[in-house]
Structures are given as C-alpha cells and as structure tokens.
Structure 1
Amino acid sequence: MKITKEKIYSWAVNLFPIQRSITGIGNRKTLKYIKKELGKLKIIEIKSGTKVFDWIVPNEWNIKDAYIKDEKNIKVVDYKKNNLHVVSYSSPMNKVISDKELKKNLHYIKEKPNAIPYVTSYYKKRWGFCLSYNAFKKLNSKKYKVVINSSLKRGSMSYGELYIKGKSKKEILISTNICHPSMANNETSGIVVAMAIAKYLLKRNNYYSYRIIFIPETIGSISYISKNFKKLKKNIKAGFVLTCLGTKNNFSIVKNIETNFAEKIVLKVLNKNYKKYKSYPWIDRGSDERQFCSPEVNLPFVCISKGKFYEFKEYHTSLDNLKFISAQGLIDSFEMLKKCIYEVENNFFYTNVYKCEPFLTKYDLYNSMNKFNKKEHLEKTKVLNILSYCNGENDLEDISNYTNLSNKFVKQNLKMLLKKKLIKRD
C-alpha cells in the first residue's frame, strides 16, 4: 500500500481525540491502534513503583468524566467537549465549592483568550480545570459543583516497540511520544510520521536494523533507557526524536552536546534538499533528546521537528488542533525522514582489520623494490592516509574531508581495500 498524505492525516484524525497521559487506558488504546495499522508492535508494561534511575514510575491515572456546573445547573466547563479541560492527573473530586476556591484551581492564558491551556501535575496530588480566558470571564456564580471522575492507583505505564531486523546488528532508533491528549502538532504528528516510516521500513531490505518506540515523554524515555541501557550503548548507531512535524514550517534540528552520526545525516539532508532550516544547540533541547543525550547516557541522537516546541503560539493549547496541521505538512515530514533513511543506509563506517600499517607490498599496493619514487610514494601515502582514518568512527565523507581527497577517489580506494580485506565495513 502506498503511503499517501491522506492516509497519514486520517491516522491523525483517529488518534487526535484519544485521552492520553503518561499512563492509562488512552495510551493502550493508542498503541493498539498503531499495532493494528502496522501489523505488529510489541506493547510493554512497566509497573507503577518501578525505580528508573532517579525516578519512579507513577501510579496509573484514568478519567471517565469531569465538569463544573454553576448554580443554574449549567455545565460551564465540560471535559467531554475537550479533554484539555482537566489538569492531567487530577485527583477525584465531587463537591460544591465557593467561587473563590474554584478560581484557585483554574488555569487560563490571558494573552491567548480563546485557548484552553494544557496543564499537568503528574508527581503531586492536586486537582484543576483549564479553560479559555474568555470562558473564565463569564463565570458569575457564587458556588459551583465540581466533579472529576478519575482514579489514581497502582497499575502500569505502557509503551510500544517495533524491531525491524536488518543485515547489521547496529540499530537506528526512532522515538516519538504518546503522552499528550488532543494536540495535533506537538503530539499526534510525531506518532503518525513514525507510523509512516515504520511501514516504509517494513517493506525495505535494510542494511541497519531499526527500532521504533512510542513512549510517554520523559518518564517513558528514562524508563526505556534504564531497562535497555547496555543494549543501547552497544548497538545504537543513530537516533531520531520526532516531534512537532505536522505543519508547513521549515524543518529544525536540536543537536546533541557533541557532533554525532545522526546530526551529520540530518544536516546533510537539510543542506542538500531544503533551502531554509533552523539548527538549535543542545541548550535549546526540550523533548526526549534530553534523556537520550544526557551526559551519562550520551547516545548519538538529535531531535527533528518543524516549528519546534515552545516556539509556536499554539503550543500546549487547544489551538494546536487538526486545523493547525495539514496532510501536506505530514507527508513532507515523512519524505524528509525517507531521505534521512537513504543517507543512513548509504553511509558506512570503516575499520582497519590489522594493527599498525599493513604490508602493502603483499597486496600489490607498493613496489617490493625500495627505491624512492615520488609518484609511488604519494600514492602509497594516500592509501595509508585513508587507512589511518578507518577507525570505525568515520564515513566516506569524513575520510574525504580529513585527507583532502575527492569523494570519488576515496570511494574507489575503500572499495579496493574492502576487496583485499584490509578494512571492514560497519
């Protein structure tokens, strides 16, 4: 089946309304939908109370209904009309309270009077509602009935993982989040672009193995790293965090502390194919690259987005809806990721087989008669220079840049050295 923009957008339409948080029924519903579309996905549960580095997986939160009624028994705030109306992880509530007490627990944005803000309280018990500032100004009762039909108890945190085996054990990891409720660009776009890439990879004959994970932000990535740290350090060649990919804005990259393979791939694609893009340093991080690239983890990750988190006015509000993203924006992101995959699959790293310089004469790469010949000497030096940069960390372009030799020349010689089994390719 061809992956069309209409198909990707239809996934977004179906996923957008689901009530998601860092735990709960909505996350499982989301993962089951992804599994149905992809044909396979491993759904994994981590029990509440599990210690993951300095964090603990919280109790599971679920919600059925929530509303505020005024003295005329009219619902002035209704969770069923928009799931952003309730502060995520709100404690259960069913009582009549004063106007003063209610307003202590209401959240709005004066500067965005039509927007419902997205607010969470995962790690401290409290309750609250979110509404537009315009709706807040209309509240005029002295008392209100407040109902939050939620539960917070021991359960588990869910995430999804798809492994696509390639020729190499080395892996490319693609990560996106499943913890935000109805926000189209900040959440849903990453999910559906990752689904599209998964479908694309499942039909390819890949050199690298690919692992695609759908996780709650922060606690999900920390848990995943905690559970898989040794395997990640051993196998991950590059990682991409996908978020905010649904608009027609220019692409952006958030870099790691240090330059890595993932960064080189993305920048190569951007420079080759896109006239304008934004490059952000590590200090402007904001999504799960914070965990994957943290100093004691230091995996080769970058974050890819369009209209980076924090920097569009609709961010974390009800304005980030299905009208804010577009089918074209989603397919453009998918095509950009396909270009990254192409570069990954055609960019290899080379390692010397032998310690010290090899005996070039044995391979007909140097004259057995030791008589100085400038031309022969230069040719030998070029080959040895190429070999000296085959350290497992450099690809063709790196070696070309370091040696000041053309890509064509380096490519020909790498092919020759591979044939003579003087180097190996990762």
Structure 2
Amino acid sequence: MNNKVSLPQSSNSKTGYKSPPGPASPSSSHRKSQSEIESTRFTKDHDHQNYIKLGKYIREKFHNQQICDVAFKVGDKLIPTHKIVLASQSPLFATLFEEKAFHYDAATPKIIKVRGVAEKSVLAFLEFLYSGTIEIEPTTISDLLKLSSAFKVHDIKKLCMNHITLASYEELLKILTIVKSIKEEDYCEKILSVIAKNFIKVKETSSFYELNKETLCLILEQDSLNTKSELDVFTSVISWIQHHDYEVTIQYFEELLFYVRFPLMSQKELFRCFKIFKPLRNYKKVVEMIAMANWIQTSQSLDQDDPLENQLPKERNGTASSPSVNSFIKTNSSTVMKEPPLEIQMCPMPDSMAHDLNMHARSSSSQDFAQVEKYEAPKSKTFTRRKVKDLKKENIRRTGRKIPKDSPIRQLSSLNF
C-alpha cells in the first residue's frame, strides 16, 4: 500500500496561487512523530557522550594538575582542584563560591587548609568528587566520614555504610576501633550487629586480639552476642589477655571480667573457668562474682526463690537489643581515646604561589607546579576572626552590603567538625 498522499491541483495553480494545506494525514503525522523521537534520541545520546567527554577531560586536568583555580592544603602537600567541580558535588562549596564575599580579591586563588585528616584520605575524597568512585580502606574510613559530613557529600557515607557488608571480620574490627570516637553511632552500631551475629568466628581472628581495651569492652557489653554459652565470652577475654603483655593487661583483668555474665553459665562451666585460667583464684572480686553465680544456679536447681534476691542478667542472643554506642561512650568518656577534630580554614594564596598556580594552569606539564609546596600562606591573610572586620569594610565599600553573619566565609574561618 502506498502511503504517499498528493494534494489536489488548484485551478489557480498557473497564477502561482497555492491551496491552503489540508489536515495532516495519519501517516505524515506518524512520520513527524517518529522524526521527533529520533531527534530526541540523538540529542540524549549526544548529551550522554558530551557528559562523558566533559567528565573525562576534567578528571584528566585534575590528575595532571592543570587549569586549577583553588587548592587543598594537607600538611605540606598542596592539591590543586577546580571550583566548578567542588561546587557541583558539595552544597557547602556551592554556597561558599557563590557568596559575594568570596569574590573579595577574586584574582587571587584560594587555599583550603584541612587539618585532622590524612593526605591519602583527602585524595580519595577528591577522587570521588571527580569520578564518582572511591577506594575505601579501614585506615581511611574515619577521615572519609569526617570529610563527607563536613562538606555535605552524603553519598560517601552511604558507600562507607555499604562497605560493612563487604568487609572481612578483620577489617570490621579495625574500622570499629577507629570510628567509635567520631560520633558516627549508626555506623558503629551496624558494625557491632555484624560482629555480634558472628562472634564465635570473630573472636578467633588476629584483629580481635589487637583490639584496645575500650573497643573490647564495647563488644562484650552487647546483649546480642551470638554465643553457644557465656563460657565463650569468658574464653575470649582470657585469649585477649594472653595475646598481650601479661604484666600490662592483667591490670584490666577484673574490669574485663565484669562484662562476663557468670550467672548465665552452668555450675559445671563455672568450675571450668578455674581450670581454663588457674590464676583466677588470685582475684578476690572475680571469685566473689563466680561464687554468687554458683549460688544463683543452686537456687534455680532447687526450684527455690533466691533469699538474697539476686537477679539473673539478661540472656544473650542474636536478636536482643544492646546498649547504644552513645551510652557506652558517655559512661567511658574518660577512657575512650578521641580522634583529633577536622579543621577547615580558607585563605588567599601569597602572590608567589598564586603566580605559580596561574602559570601552571596554562602549562601542559605538571612539572611547573613542583615548587609550589614550599610556600606558606601568611597568617595575616587568613579569613580568621581578626580579618572579618577588614572584610566587612571592604565588602561595604565594594557592594554597599554587609557580610551576613551566616556567610560561609565566616563559618569557614575556623571550623571544627
């Protein structure tokens, strides 16, 4: 069937008159719609390829340290970056870079000084901003959580949370030791739930014996420890003591055994405790705890009410709720080691450093930037509270407006997380 439609010839066709177009036929409408679809598909494919090309180009410039207009400084290391990338991935940077106050002395590139995190962690964080991929290691998770919280890049925290399901027991124990002190309670509790569920296997790993006392206590406190018997908890403490300097760790012996719920053991298991660790009889408080547990077991075997009204501790199982990490840290705040806070400060580059950065941005070789690290930004030019007054005067002179109190320029002058 021929879908071609011919318009009727008009009697006035010789005079150049054209008949008005009639209603479009279904077939012509279909052809037009199909053309639009193809055009839309071409546009989407073209846009997709364009974004890929753009992303590849920007990542290449980051890795080659080219066309950069802002830099991170971690210790003595200067890491050139691009404001447009930081602003597109971080709401904090987007707000900061759009502030009029930020454009004070706009010709001078800015330095973002970061303290309290490792250079390796900052590089991993920036790599994620440029590529969307990140390499998560036990040694960097604490820093990555701090950076993601500070700069509001929440996707990194989600990836760190997902990493828990992929990490080995060895890794989880190392991560727990690091992150328990940075107020990431939900992260700690998720790790603890995995450790508690697999406690029998976890307590046999070498990382378990490397735990510090506070992290060990946090694990032993969990109601959800999945054990065959409370004797498993007792033997885990003894193994931990024996894998350390005996003279040093034995001072923690009674404190650690406080987390063992002796009344949950059978009388036979209570007797075994003394065979497993013979020096046990030398610790009066521990002997008293075991004697009381034996008394409770005796009253139960006689089916009699305990005249001393001792209460059985809570049973352990894989589903029981446990005390929160927050409550543990509050109770043990004097002993839990705290990691240094993340500190962020923004300041203008000195002229010599800015010149090198600008020259580097136009060069095709990263070697031109090698000497930048030897420069230090003068303290007199940092955006500290002493400088806010001068900034306010300059901003009023230029724009006729004051710097708002909630301006990121002020917030970033000396920011702790």
Q: Is the shorter-chain TM-score for this pair beyond 0.5, marking a shared fold?
A: no
Q: TM-score range by the shorter chain?
A: under 0.3
TM-score by length of 1: 0.23
Higher relative contact order (CA 8 A, sep 6+): 2
TM-score by length of 2: 0.23
Greater C-alpha radius of gyration: 2
